[in-house]
Amino acid sequence: MPEEVISDTTPVQYLHQVGRLDALIAGCAAGYSVTLLTFSSKYYRVVPNLKVEQPYGS
């Protein structure tokens, strides 16, 4: 899976100005079909098949 995550997230990094680590974290979360909890959800909206929630609701 690591190779798939890297190849899937590279376009996100360059096209949408998402940092490398953020793209890898998002790719792993999307790959495992888990929800990513973050206070910076706006950065992850561009990642396909990624469920994002803000901790503590809002």
pTM over 0.75: no
First to last CA, the chain: 33
The reported pLDDT for the residue numbered 51 is 92
Q: Quick one: which H or E segment has residue 35?
A: strand 35-37
Q: Angle at Cα 47 formed by Cα 11 and Cα 53, nearest 5°?
A: 155
The reported pLDDT for the residue numbered 17 is 66
Instruction: Please tell me the number of Cα atoms within 13 Å of 22 on its side-chain side.
Output: 19
Distance, CA of 58 to CA of 19 (rounded, Å) = 25
pLDDT in tens, 13-52: 545 566 778 878 888 888 889 999 998 887 788 787 889 9
